[in-house]
């Protein structure tokens, strides 16, 4: 199976940030490590979830990234460079496969309308009913990785 590059993983880590303890993300999800919403046992993260080590967080990240990678491989029907794969996997990791599946972003990629794709990333900047500066930065970074691929 195709895997995200180390640069792609670094992109996710940069925007997720590491937290050994559970915290509420801006969209209102309990999160731990680098953006995991499920603990090592597969249970939803809650305020009572025990802290994780960086090694455990890496395990969680790789588990969740693998789900996003499979989602991209299932939904995108055209060949992708590593950068494009990384950008789309970061998107799917952050927003879930359903967001990618129902998005115009996916349709533009599959039609190879690559010039239109950066603008589609920038439509996904809302969390908890408001525009989030962190999501704006993340979507711009993903769009840049996609374009530079």
Q: Token pair for residue 109?
A: 């990629």
Q: Which residues contact 115 (CB under 8 A, 6 or more apart)?
A: none
What is the C-alpha to C-alpha distance for residues 143 and 87, in angstroms, rounded to an integer? 7
Q: C-alpha angle with apex 88: 63 to 93, nearest 5 degrees?
A: 35
CB within 8 Å of 70: residues ≥ 6 apart: 1
Among 16, 69, 120, 142, the active-site one is 16
Catalytically annotated residue among 25, 69, 120, 142: 25
* Annotation says 16 is catalytic: yes
CA triplet 89, 109, 139: central angle to 5 degrees? Answer: 50
Positions annotated as catalytic residues are 16, 25
């Amino acid at each position: 199976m195709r895997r995200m590059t180390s640069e792609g993983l670094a992109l996710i880590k940069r925007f997720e940030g590491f937290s050994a303890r559970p915290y509420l993300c801006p969209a209102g999800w309990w999160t731990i490590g680098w953006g995991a919403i499920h603990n090592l046992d597969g249970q939803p993260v809650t305020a009572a979830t025990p802290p994780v080590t960086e090694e455990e967080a890496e395990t969680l990240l790789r588990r969740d990234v693998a789900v996003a990678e499979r989602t991209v491989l299932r939904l995108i029907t055209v060949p992708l460079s590593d950068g494009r794969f990384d950008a789309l996997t970061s998107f799917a990791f952050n927003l879930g496969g359903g967001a990618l599946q129902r998005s115009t972003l996916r349709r533009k990629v599959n039609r190879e309308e690559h010039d239109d794709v950066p603008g589609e990333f920038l439509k996904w900047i809302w969390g908890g009913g408001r525009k989030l500066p962190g999501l704006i930065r993340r979507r711009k970074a993903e769009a840049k990785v996609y374009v530079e691929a």
